[in-house]
Structure 1
Amino acid sequence: MKKLLAVLLLGAVVSCSTTTRITDFYKGQPPSQGKTYHTIFVAALVHNLGAKASIENNVAAAAKARGYEVVKSGDVFPPNFTRENVPDRETILSKVKASGCDAIYTVTLVNKESETRYVPGTGPYAPYPRWGWYGSFWGYYSYWSPMMYDPGYYTTDKTYYMETNLYDAQTEQLLFSVQSATVNPNGIEDFSKSYTAAIVRELGAQGLLK
């Protein structure tokens, strides 16, 4: 189990500027004693096809580099699913098992929120006598008057709530689930790095990674 988690997650851990925080963690029942996983079915359950391909490719590359086999959902199922034509459970699981996968790794965008906030103009405040400009009219006026023309601005923060689950393909048993919130990613790759790094830290804290 530890080796599988390391394969899936450690390959993409690099520094990034985007902030991701773990909001919840659930550890399922451990697999039967002595059971190991060798082939992973990776499924990014997101609407954007570019994001889906990027996430699946990123996870697959990390696993393959360490000797694991990977099957990406984008290579098995057509990209034109809608609410009306999603395959049934038996169709999906039969293809997963026919591909030889013994674990299923899913990444899902469960919610997205936007919040507009006001960012005030520049200029620290401290009362007399800490700052010298209070000592004369011109010192005070020349310091503060330019800031009156910098009134601030509004900006919109976007928060993406993601969930990653790992299942046993044979029993469909949930092995772990991690939920997180990523704020203002600068793109798919930036999001992926921040999100993965946060998950690795959490799994380490939970004792699932060395």
Structure 2
Amino acid sequence: MKQFFLLLSCIFILSCGSTTSIVKSWRDPETTIAKEQFKKVLVVAFVKDETTRKIIETRIALRNPIFKTSYNYLNGTNLDLTKEQKLKILNSENFDGVVTMRLVSIEKETHYVPGTNTSLYYGGMGGMYGGMYGYGFSNWYGMYSPHFYDPGYFQETTFYLVETNIFSLKRNKLIWTGTTKSAHITNVGETVDAIMETVINEMRKDGSLPKK
């Protein structure tokens, strides 16, 4: 478990400019985010490293003033409390919702990148070659030779699947969950932004949030 949290911390530290898409989502058919009318929502990033946790939670909290970072309420002074004691703290602070984010898995995909198609340079005798007559061999060879040696290759891409959950404390239940898939990541802030945008778009599609 310790290694899992350390890995998650490294992923979020190294993430940026990611390409993010929704993999799956679910919403409670009996309610919507709009109906809940949240007034104060706790943001929790399940990351062992405190610095990374603060970066993630702060980035999400900046999106809406009702979002509050969990590190201000659940930190080193009370992390050993029981679940009931933690819920008591949240109730006493008038929280009515919670948003959580956590890494669920890492996947690697390999695909083939084809090499340069040299047929273009051999099929146009009246076009491509028409302007080459009268030139010496060195000109002709210098123009086309690099394309003879551009083979295809296999490229491996690493994808990070992150789960975002929304809980209603008033109902004491999960009301929305979604898993996103991100690649090409190098900065924590931009990746969190991409995940949140993807989540919001999905909630607008399924009716959890009103459309623009």
TM-score, normalised relative to structure 2: 0.70
Match of 1:171 in 2: 171
Cα deviation 1:174-207 (Å, max 9, x = unaligned): 1111111011112112212221221222122212
Distance in structure 1 (CA, Å) of the matches to 2:35 and 2:204: 22
Query: Contact between 1:44 and 1:108, CA under 8 Å: does it hold in 2?
Result: yes
Aligned residue for 1:107, secondary structure, equals: strand
Are 1:78 and 2:75 an aligned pair? yes
Query: Contact between 1:38 and 1:102, CA under 8 Å: does it hold in 2?
Result: yes
Match of 2:206 in 1: 206
Instruction: Summarize the Cα distance change of 1:57–1:160 in structure 2 as closer, same or farther, 3 Å threshold.
Output: same
Query: Contact between 1:133 and 1:140, CA under 8 Å: does it hold in 2?
Result: no
TM-superposed deviation, 1:17:
4.8
Structure 2 gap segments, 5+ residues each: 1-15
Match of 1:4 in 2: none
Query: Contact between 1:71 and 1:99, CA under 8 Å: does it hold in 2?
Result: no
Instruction: Summarize the Cα distance change of 1:35–1:182 in structure 2 as closer, same or farther, 3 Å threshold.
Output: closer
Match of 1:125 in 2: 118
Identity fraction in percent: 23
Distance in structure 2 (CA, Å) of the matches to 1:88 and 1:119: 52
- Deviating more after overlay: 44-53 vs 123-132: 123-132
Distance in structure 1 (CA, Å) of the matches to 2:104 and 2:92: 28
For the pair shown, the structure with the greater C-alpha radius of gyration is 2
1:84-123 equivalence runs, <5 A: 87-115=81-109, 123=116
Query: Contact between 2:17 and 2:191, CA under 8 Å: does it hold in 1?
Result: no
Distance in structure 2 (CA, Å) of the matches to 1:117 and 1:80: 48
Aligned residue for 1:199, secondary structure, equals: helix
Match of 1:50 in 2: 51
Instruction: Summarize the Cα distance change of 1:46–1:142 in structure 2 as closer, same or farther, 3 Å threshold.
Output: same
Are 1:38 and 2:31 an aligned pair? no
Cα deviation 1:130-167 (Å, max 9, x = unaligned): 47259889477434432466667775522111111111
Instruction: Summarize the Cα distance change of 1:78–1:133 in structure 2 as closer, same or farther, 3 Å threshold.
Output: farther
TM-score, normalised relative to structure 1: 0.70
Aligned residue for 1:54, secondary structure, equals: helix
Instruction: Summarize the Cα distance change of 1:23–1:34 in structure 2 as closer, same or farther, 3 Å threshold.
Output: closer
Aligned length: 186
Instruction: Summarize the Cα distance change of 1:50–1:144 in structure 2 as closer, same or farther, 3 Å threshold.
Output: farther
Distance in structure 1 (CA, Å) of the matches to 2:189 and 2:155: 23
Distance in structure 1 (CA, Å) of the matches to 2:162 and 2:144: 44
Distance in structure 2 (CA, Å) of the matches to 1:188 and 1:79: 23
Instruction: Summarize the Cα distance change of 1:153–1:52 in structure 2 as closer, same or farther, 3 Å threshold.
Output: farther
One-letter amino acid of the structure 1 residue matched with residue 26 of structure 2: Y
Match of 2:5 in 1: none
Distance in structure 2 (CA, Å) of the matches to 1:50 and 1:153: 39
Distance in structure 1 (CA, Å) of the matches to 2:80 and 2:149: 56
Structure 1 gap segments, 5+ residues each: 1-15
Instruction: Summarize the Cα distance change of 1:153–1:92 in structure 2 as closer, same or farther, 3 Å threshold.
Output: farther
